[in-house]
Each structure stands twice: as structure tokens, then as C-alpha cells.
Structure 1
Amino acid sequence: MTAQLPRMRESPLLHDDSLPRENVVRHVSELIGSTPLLELVRTGTGTRLLVKLEQFNPTGSAKVRMAREMVLAAERSGELRPGGHIVEPTSGNTGTGLALMALERGYTFTAVVDDHAAKDKLRAMKAMGAQLVSLPCPPGGGPSTVERRRVATELAARTGAFRPDQHNNPHNNAGYRDLASELLTDLRTDVDYLVGAVGTGGSLCGTVEELRRLGSGVRAIGVEPEGSIIFGGVGGSYWQTGAGSPPGFPVGRNVEYDAIDEGCRVGDIDAFATARVVAKRAGILLGGTAGAAVHAALRRLVHLPAASTVVVLACDAGEKYLDTVYNEEWLLQRGLYDEAAQQRIARLWRAYDESVLLAAFDTEQTGA
């Protein structure tokens, strides 16, 4: 005799047509986007620094946006067929995004990585079924970006796999169109300044291009690690992951220099010190490149027109860097821990807070 399942009670709200439809998704990728904006700092002139917290995407990174778009575009073009294989060199965030899309859509994914990547990113890719090909870092530190690209290209050619080539794939930039729309919808006003890491070019350039297509007058500030060659120079090693191009690495086509109004470099010490101050002041953990972008924005706030809206793209979560950015021992071993740098950033932040109080006092006294 077959046991009967208990009958579920029907909710009295079931037939109320005025209620919204059930808010349940069937695939994790459906949760991509609609990430929150956090006001981090406000000045006495009414200028505010907002952070677009892309860590609230699945996989904890903005890169899942472009991973989805590149995979779907490859399906439409026929480059990816059922049961196919994806190969890509990655420092981790693109890899976790591709790993998610591969498992949802039935593909095999191989990530070519190195020890420069955060360990938790590597663990996350493996947890989602990715195969890792790990290469050593070059002498003196820094990522093995050039060698990772060479190995991935050879592996894809040998196996017939689809190689997205995130640095040159136009669907990388296209994956951030929704991000631009989200900013304008949530703000109900324009974005005056958009600040973010350049990296592959996708998140910053793709968002800026779509903002401008929608009529925004945004000014874009690209931030890169000291040692990256994206804005020229000889280059060198750096510890920020997910951004930068080391010496010898060809900058990809997705870095649209015409879309970037200003480029600046932030060293590892200031980038990591800023992330640590944000954690202590706001209770939110940011990645190192987001720390660099916040640092660049904080330094500029005092020089901007009154009532400016500045948005920093925080591309991933700091929880991935508990062993590095938020680990004093790791920082000390590499000469990256600087208490004075953290104090400078904290003082600057307090000065902005005090400027708000002073402006309120002046208004109360003068009525202006």
C-alpha cells in the first residue's frame, strides 16, 4: 500500500490577486544583480560617497555578471554546445562566476590559476566542481598573468574547449549594462563620479558606457595597483588581486581608455589600510581593489563640487581575504602593514564627519 503524503493546507491569501507573485527562483544565477548601495561618507557640502556592494551577488563578486553574459552569448553563437568545456585563466572571481554558470548549464570548467589568488576563491571554484590547473608565481611575487594566459590558450586549443578570453570578449563589458540601470534607478539622480578598479575593463568601462548611453554625464575614475602597466610605466609586482596588468601582459580591448576620464594608482599599503578602516568604521568587509577605489574617492571628496554623488564599485567581498588583507601577520611578513596609513585614512574620514556637523551648526546659526 502506497503511503499518501499529507495534504498541504491552502493559505487564505492564495487567491488574493492584489498580492505579488511568489518570490522564489529556481537557479542561483537568477539572483544576480539588484545589489545595494551603501552611503559610506558624507561631507558638509552635501557630497556623498556611495559604495555599490557587488559582494551581494551570487559567488560574492561583480564578475558573475559578465561570466553569465559571456556564457549565454557563446551558447547563442554556437561556440558552446551541450556538454561543452570552458577554459579560462583567472585570479578567482571570474572563475567562480564561470564555475556557477558551468554547473547550472551542464559544462565542464577548467580554471588556470596561481598562488597569487586568494585561497578561498580557489576553494570556492573547487567546491562548485571546477578543475584547477595551478601555476607558480614568478620570482619576486605578483601574479603569473602572462603564463596563465599562455597555458589556458594552449589547453583550450588542445581540447577544443571554449575560451571566453575575458580581457577581449565584448560580452564582458555588456554584462554590466544592468548595473548601470540599477544605479540610475536606485539613485533617482545622476552618478557624477564612478570610481572603480580597471582590471579587464569590463565592470568600469561597461558600466560607464551604458550610463552614458542612458544620458548620464558621469565622470569615470579608473584605479589600478601601483605596479600595473594599464596606465603606462615600467610596472612591477603588487599584491592586490583581481585588478592590474603586470609587465609583459598585453592590455585587452575591453579597457576602453576613451571611457576613462582619469586614471590613478594606489599602492598595496593604502589599498589594504583603507579596507581595514572601512571594516572598523562601517562593519563591511571589502576586497583589496575596492579598498584602493575607496581610498582614491576619499582623497578626492574635498575637491569636488558641492552635492556631488560619487559611486565606488566594490567588486567583491572581503571575507575572501581574511587570510591576507585582514591578517596582520600576513601583511607584516610582506611589509604591507602600516598603522600610520590606517590612522591617516581614519582622520580623513573623521574630518568629513566633522564637516557635516560644522555645516549643520552654521546653518542653525545663520539660517543659510
Structure 2
Amino acid sequence: MTETDVDAFDSVLEAIGGTPLIRLARVAPEAGAPVYVKAEFLNPGGSVKDRAALSMVLAAERSGELKPGGHIVEGTSGNTGIGLAIVAAQRGYRLTVVVPDKSSREKTLILQAYGAEVVVTPGAVPREDPAHVSQLARRIAEESGGWLANQYDNPANPAAHHEGTGPEIWRQTRGRVTHFVAGIGTGGTISGTGAYLKEASDGRVRVIGADPDHSVYSGGDGSPYFVESIGHYLHPDTAEDLWPESYHRGVPDVVEPIGDRESILTARRLAREEGLLLGASAGTAVAAALRLAATLTPDDLVVVVVPDSGRSYLSKYYDDEWLRGFGFLEDVEDEPTVAEAAGPCSWLPSTSSAGEALDHDGPGELWAVTVPRPGVTGSPAFAEVTGTLDVRRLRAAEAAGLVRREDSITGHVTEPLPAVGLGESHRAATARIGAHDAAWVLTDGRVTGVLLGAGKPETIG
């Protein structure tokens, strides 16, 4: 047998793309439209981002921005970095990847396994902060003379999907696709694929974006959410909210908000009922697709991109203890749960005055002090709780003449309490609180109550 007789790829890069469509046989509504997932987790790096990574590197090589043996730098939640790591290994580049601290540990380990240098930086900082993922990546590229891939604004990102993903779906469905669903992160997948499908169908295909319900893309408040690699977080101190140039806003016909719990539980359901181990952003997209399919007929055909594998999130979305700790699971049986023992709490912004706090008509005596977000009245994400105010002590200080109503509450705020999940067993949660007298109670990662620990209520604070 000669080398030309071998049916094989010359390199792993040729294996990028060409992913199959898989029909959802058990979770799709029986009377609605059939739903097919575009199985992007079958790319060599385990995600749809392999396509953009290869496209961006090839474009930079053609333009001369990336020289042989050069240095690639990128800021990413992880998947684009993994795709770049594969391309860099094959084509002889050095790679530095900046990731936010909320990215899963598995992604960091995968990047390091490919030989990438990984720099972890805080994720919850304003865009203008030097520690912000994009700012730090840009500075590293400038100081090292490297090439910044810049997936958020690189036209080769959506081009990868206009030239690859879109034509594949059109060919695989023989032009029968009527609705296309994808999550929105950098916007490259939905922009490139959606534009192609609209062009190929003369505008017949409708494009639906799927988005965490707190993400700005779908009209949310921009506060933290738990689904990685999707959505648009907005720090309240960000001076200007810049959206990615890779996201072409005119392509989606609608953007559907999906809650974290629905996203996570949908992903877990796909693993257990369809045999598809996927990330939570796939759960977001599939949840939107299932909602949509239920409103359609069997003559319609829905294709939804499932962007990555659940193997990168085993310590998060597939870890029952992790989920209970953030209040996403409530499946403890035969013993009392935190929900049964939790008391009410309130919250107020850290910019409040003592008078505003004392006049605040909120329940409970321990209040969560939060990052101020104008116009937001709902429960705060735990990530944005910056401290604890014992309102009884504040009242006592006022009565003793130690605080004026115009004073800031800053000097009366203590450290944030630890957190327990609404569905945890009361016994396990109080044991975990340890020496602390109280803990915030979380429902879907947001503060909704307070749990008193072993200490007596009058000593709490």
C-alpha cells in the first residue's frame, strides 16, 4: 500500500469542521418541529472555536501579520485558546492565552497540555481595567511583539462560519432548514452561519440567538451569570459598553433569554436522555431550540449549534455538590434542607448612606452589600456581594451618636458571609459554615436569604 492509498488527513487541522447533524430523539417535543444539533464538540479541540482559530491564523499568515515561528496571544474563556493551541502546535507558533478566573479548571489544564502559556486574570473587572482579559492580552502582545488574534473583532471569525458551518448545514439538510439557533459569545458563529443560511434561502431561514437572561445581548442587566463561553457581561463601572465587531446584530431575528438553571439542567438532561455530554452554553442553545420547536410544525426543521463538550465542565455543571452549593439543585431527600431553615434578607448598594440604610424597608437583620447597578431591583449575584451590614449594629451606633445619617455605610460593613445553596441539606450546610454564625443562601447563584449557623441570632454580625 502506498501513502496515497491511505484514507487519512495530513494533519489534525484538516479534521476541523465537517461535523455531523444529530437529531434529538427523546427531548424534542413530539408534535413540534424536528430538532437537529450541529455537533461542534466533535472538532479536534472539542469546540466550535477550532473553526475560528484556524481561520484567524490562516488569514494572519496571508496578510503577513503572523510570521513563521511567531507568537500568538489571545484573551478567551478557553475554547478559542484551545483551538489556537492546536493550530500553534501544528504550525510552530508560541501561544499565550489570557483566561478569566471563572473559566473551568479543565480548560486551563487542556491549554497547558497543548503547551500554551496560560495567564489567569480576574473576570469581574471593568473593560478599562488593565487586568481585564482583553486589555491584558493586548498588552502582552504589544510588549512581546506578538500577534493578537482578537476573536471579538476579527472578521476571520464570522468568515469561518460563513464559509464553513453555514454551507455544511445547508448541504446536510438539503436546504430544508427553516430555523437556525445558536448562542452568542463573540457573535462569530451566529453571524457567519446565520448570514449564509439567510442568503442561501433567500431570507426564508429565521435566525434565533440564545443568551443568558442576565446578558446584555438579550436585554439583561449585564450582571454575572454561570454559563461559560456565552453572553455579554457588563461591569457597572465600565465606561463604554463595546459589543464585538464579530457580532453582526442584524443577523438574528430574535434573541431568546434563557436562565442559568434551565441551561444547566438542559445540558444534564441531554447527557442522560440523548447521550450527548455538552457544555452549559449548549444547554442554553438547546433550551431555546426546544421552546421554538414546540411552536412549529413537523414541516419545519430546526438546527442548533452545540458548541462544546461537557468534558471541560465536569467539575462544575456535572458535579452535584458544586451545583447544590450555588442553589441549582434541590434534590436532597429524607432530611431538612437549607430552604426550610433560611430566613429573609435584603440588599443595598455599597454607595448607600447610613440614613438610606436605616430607612430601607427590607426584611431580616443581615443585609447583603452589593456592587451598585442602577435600576436593578432583583436579588444580586453572589459574585457582586461585597460585604455584610448588620442593621441592628447600625441602629445601635445611631442611637449612641456614633453615626450620622449622611455618613457612608462603608465603616459599618464587614466581610461577605460564606454561601450555601438553597437545596443543600441543613446538616451539611451548617457543618460547612464552620466558625461562621451565618451564611447567605443562594438560589441559582443569587442571594435570596440568610441561614443562621450554630451561633445564637443575637450574636450574629
Q: TM-score, normalised by structure 1?
A: 0.82
> Which amino acid in structure 2 is aligned with residue 258 of structure 1?
G
1:269·1:338 contact (CA, 8 Å) conserved in 2? no
Higher normalized helix content (fraction of residues) = 1
**What is the CA–CA distance in structure 2 between the aligned matches of 1:158 and 1:232, rounded to whole Å?**
37
Q: Secondary structure at the match of 1:111?
A: strand
- The residue aligned with 2:433 is none
Quick check: which has more Rg, 1 or 2? 2
| 1:99-155 superposed Cα distances (whole Å, 9 cap, x missing partner) | 11111111111000122112111111111110011113438xxxx998111111111
Quote the offset at 1:44 in angstroms: 4.7
**What is the CA–CA distance in structure 1 between the aligned matches of 2:220 and 2:282, rounded to whole Å?**
22
Query: Of 211, 226, 230, which aligns to 1:243?
Result: 230
**What is the CA–CA distance in structure 2 between the aligned matches of 1:339 and 1:184, rounded to whole Å?**
42
1:196 and 2:179 aligned: no
- The residue aligned with 2:132 is 147
Runs of 4+ in 1 over 6 A off after TM superposition: none
**What is the CA–CA distance in structure 1 between the aligned matches of 2:32 and 2:215, rounded to whole Å?**
34
- The residue aligned with 2:421 is none
Query: Of 87, 93, 102, which aligns to 1:107?
Result: 93
2:122·2:132 contact (CA, 8 Å) conserved in 1? no
Q: 1:201 to 1:338 in 2, by over 3 A?
A: farther
- The residue aligned with 2:60 is 74
**What is the CA–CA distance in structure 2 between the aligned matches of 1:26 and 1:75, rounded to whole Å?**
19
Q: Secondary structure at the match of 1:52?
A: strand
- The residue aligned with 2:322 is 330
1:224 and 2:211 aligned: yes
Q: 1:289 to 1:136 in 2, by over 3 A?
A: same
| 1:238-276 superposed Cα distances (whole Å, 9 cap, x missing partner) | 111111111145211111111000101111111000011
Q: 1:89 to 1:145 in 2, by over 3 A?
A: farther
**What is the CA–CA distance in structure 2 between the aligned matches of 1:50 and 1:186, rounded to whole Å?**
11
Calculate percent identity across the aligned residue pairs: 38
1:45·1:307 contact (CA, 8 Å) conserved in 2? no
Quote the offset at 1:221 in angstroms: 0.6
Matched residues, number: 319
Query: Of 81, 84, 91, which aligns to 2:70?
Result: 84
Q: 1:166 to 1:45 in 2, by over 3 A?
A: same
Q: Secondary structure at the match of 1:246?
A: coil
1:316 and 2:300 aligned: no
- The residue aligned with 1:357 is none
**What is the CA–CA distance in structure 2 between the aligned matches of 1:338 and 1:188, rounded to whole Å?**
44
- The residue aligned with 2:9 is 25
**What is the CA–CA distance in structure 1 between the aligned matches of 2:215 and 2:94, rounded to whole Å?**
32
Query: Of 159, 165, 171, which aligns to 2:144?
Result: 159
- The residue aligned with 1:39 is 23
1:85·1:109 contact (CA, 8 Å) conserved in 2? yes
Give the alignment of 1:171-186 within 5 angstroms: 171-176=156-161, 177-186=163-172
Q: Secondary structure at the match of 1:58?
A: coil
Q: Secondary structure at the match of 1:279?
A: helix
Q: 1:52 to 1:338 in 2, by over 3 A?
A: farther
Q: 1:317 to 1:294 in 2, by over 3 A?
A: same
Q: 1:316 to 1:158 in 2, by over 3 A?
A: same
Quote the offset at 1:57 in angstroms: 0.5
Quote the offset at 1:22 in angstroms: 2.5
1:64 and 2:64 aligned: no
Quick check: 67-76 or 116-125, which moved more? Answer: 116-125
- The residue aligned with 1:214 is 200
Quote the offset at 1:232 in angstroms: 3.2
**What is the CA–CA distance in structure 1 between the aligned matches of 2:191 and 2:201, rounded to whole Å?**
15
**What is the CA–CA distance in structure 1 between the aligned matches of 2:61 and 2:149, rounded to whole Å?**
12
Quote the offset at 1:46 in angstroms: 6.2
| 1:164-196 superposed Cα distances (whole Å, 9 cap, x missing partner) | 111110100011121111112222232111111
Q: Secondary structure at the match of 1:182?
A: helix
Q: TM-score, normalised by structure 2?
A: 0.66
1:54 and 2:40 aligned: yes
| 1:43-92 superposed Cα distances (whole Å, 9 cap, x missing partner) | 55462011111011011001000100000000000100011111111101
Q: Secondary structure at the match of 2:217?
A: coil
1:190·1:218 contact (CA, 8 Å) conserved in 2? no
1:271·1:292 contact (CA, 8 Å) conserved in 2? yes
1:145·1:246 contact (CA, 8 Å) conserved in 2? no
Greater relative contact order (Cα 8 A, min sep 6): structure 1 or 2?
A: 1
What 5-or-longer segments of structure 1 have no aligned partner? 1-9, 15-19, 341-368
- The residue aligned with 2:445 is none
- The residue aligned with 1:354 is none
Q: Alignment RMSD, CA only?
A: 2.1
| 1:178-231 superposed Cα distances (whole Å, 9 cap, x missing partner) | 111111222223211111101101111111112223335211110111221123
Quote the offset at 1:21 in angstroms: 4.7
What 5-or-longer segments of structure 2 have no aligned partner? 333-461
Q: Secondary structure at the match of 1:87?
A: strand
Q: Secondary structure at the match of 1:330?
A: helix
Q: 1:331 to 1:70 in 2, by over 3 A?
A: same
> Which amino acid in structure 1 is aligned with residue 155 of structure 2?
P
**What is the CA–CA distance in structure 1 between the aligned matches of 2:228 and 2:242, rounded to whole Å?**
17
Quick check: 36-45 or 125-134, which moved more? Answer: 36-45
- The residue aligned with 1:94 is 80
**What is the CA–CA distance in structure 2 between the aligned matches of 1:36 and 1:338, rounded to whole Å?**
35
> Which amino acid in structure 1 is aligned with residue 139 of structure 2?
E
